[in-house]
Amino acid sequence: MIKRKTQTDERNMATRVSICAARKEDAPFIAKTVLAAMGLGTMGPDAEEDPALVAICKMEDTLYSYRNSLIAKVDGKNAGCLVAYPGDIYEESRKKTFALIGKIRGRELEAGTEMETFPGEYYLDSVAVEPEFRGYHLAERLMEEGFARAKESGSGRIGLIADNHRDWLRRYYEGMGFRESEHMLFFGEEYVRMYREL
């Protein structure tokens, strides 16, 4: 029998949730988040670890650095993660990040010629939540914290990309105030850029 989450459950969960800046030791969890967000991996206890990406997440000046990451914890346990950063760092950090991943893996990694984000906006790169904690709005809480950081950074808007084939995800982002813009290719797949003005 599946136990439904009640309002009481959500209130109890609210008192147990904390959102904090990630630490270097969170790198395996951040790497898992990035892969899950890209559709290249899964969350959960059986998710495979990617040593190359974990190494990238431990660095301070890569796209997926722990310094660009927020962790949602429930009772001290990692439950969800958001990787986000100002678009101003994207172009240089992207070159370094993909070059390092390619070097570690022994083959070139190319995401295509289109940019995910641009100077002047704050980019929500990856967000994912562990299956056992879904239904408690942790992704929304992480993104709201990302919005706060975007305002602090002085960015004029927040951007993200969504898989063009996942209508439910685009509707979810629209419910948070994002609007669709142009389409783009990322790792050979079609995505749509979405923006929210600050």
pLDDT in tens, 55-73: 999 999 999 999 999 999 9
Lowest mean pLDDT among 6-15, 145-154, 174-183, 184-193: 6-15
Of 137, 142, 138, 110, give the one whose Cα is nearest residue 124: 142
Residues near 51 by beta carbon (within 8 Å), at least 6 away in sequence: 104
3-class SS of residue 190:
strand
Name the helix (H) or strand (E) containing 184. Answer: strand 179-186
- Alpha helix locations (H) across the chain? 7-16, 27-37, 51-58, 90-105, 138-153, 167-175
- Residue 132, C-beta contacts closer than 8 angstroms, at least 6 positions apart: 44, 79
Mean pLDDT of 19-38: 93
pLDDT of residue 15: 59
Confidence of residue 1 (pLDDT cuts 50, 70, 90): very low
> CA Rg, the chain, in Å?
16
73-116 pLDDT, tens digit per residue, is: 999 999 999 999 999 999 899 888 888 877 766 655 555 557 88
Whats the size of the chain, residue-wise?
198
Say whether pLDDT at 164 is over 60: yes
- Tell me what pLDDT residue 3 has: 42
Q: What is the pLDDT of residue 8?
A: 45
How much is the pTM? 0.86
